[in-house]
């Protein structure tokens, strides 16, 4: 079974997602976390109550159009960011492996549990996707591309929920750099 975990700040998106998911995928467990906690806290809370052997973490700005086909991969998503760097404020940070775009990340329950879930040190939204894939790479699991059974609207609810999104993103990049000791970029004022 697959458990789909939605995080949302817009209740009408959550209701629409639950209805369309029920129509296209009646055998899928749907968990909606719609409180004010930041994204990774909500994803981890959803994972704790999920019953599925496969976990699919998604944002709320999507439309389901087809049946979910569970892939054989342990780590998957529709958007693989194959670049091996992060760019912010004209600076470039090299990262060791590609990662999945954070609007949709799928993982086996075993892998999620083995890496300890998403790191809640990341605030609100941004770079938790790169970090999760880096934790999985340590376990010798790299992300694979998977055909998403719907459309991503890119409605930008992160900007509605967090007017300081760019500052949060920079703070999360700093946290990622420090956590992974990314070479040459640990100066405290690198992005200032």
What is residue 65's three-state secondary structure? coil
Q: What is the dihedral of CA 157, 160, 161, 162, to 10 degrees?
A: 110
User: Residue 150: beta bridge partners?
Assistant: 64
H-type alpha helices, 72-127: 109-115
pLDDT of residue 105: 95
Alpha carbon separation from 166 to 158, 159, 170, 191 (Å, rounded):
10, 9, 6, 12
- pLDDT at residue 182 in the model: 74
Residue 141 CB-half CA count within 13 A: 19
Look up residue 184 and give its two tokens: 């040459």
C-alpha R_g of the chain: 16
Domain residue spans of the chain = 2-180
Third-level CATH fold of 2-180 = Spore Coat Polysaccharide Biosynthesis Protein SpsA; Chain A (3.90.550)
pLDDT of residue 5: 93
What pLDDT, on a 0 to 100 scale, did the predictor assign at position 188?
47
**pLDDT score for 186:** 46
Residue 92, helix vs strand vs coil: strand
C-alpha 54/C-alpha 74 separation (Å) is: 8
Mean pLDDT in order along the chain per 10 residues (192 residues): 86 79 88 82 95 93 86 91 64 74 93 97 83 93 91 64 71 86 55 50
Residue 9 CA to chain centroid, in angstroms?
15
> Three-state DSSP class for 23?
helix
* Residue showing tokens 């694979």: 144
């Amino acid at each position: 079974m697959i458990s789909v975990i939605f995080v949302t700040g817009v209740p009408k998106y959550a209701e629409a997602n639950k209805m369309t998911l029920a129509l296209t995928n009646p055998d899928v467990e749907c968990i909606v976390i719609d409180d004010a906690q930041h994204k990774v806290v909500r994803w981890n809370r959803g994972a704790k109550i999920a019953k599925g052997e496969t976990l699919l973490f998604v944002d709320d700005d999507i439309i389901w159009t087809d049946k979910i086909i569970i892939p054989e991969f342990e780590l998957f998503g529709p958007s693989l960011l194959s670049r091996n760097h992060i760019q912010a404020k004209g600076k470039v940070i090299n990262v060791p492996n590609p990662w999945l775009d954070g609007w949709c990340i799928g993982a086996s329950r075993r892998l999620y549990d083995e890496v300890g879930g998403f790191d809640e040190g990341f605030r609100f939204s941004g770079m938790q996707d790169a970090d999760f894939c880096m934790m999985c790479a340590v376990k010798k699991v790299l992300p694979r591309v998977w055909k998403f059974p719907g459309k991503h609207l890119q409605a930008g609810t992160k900007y509605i929920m967090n007017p300081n999104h760019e500052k949060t993103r920079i703070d999360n990049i700093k946290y990622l750099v420090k956590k992974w000791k990314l070479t040459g970029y640990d100066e405290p004022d690198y992005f200032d």
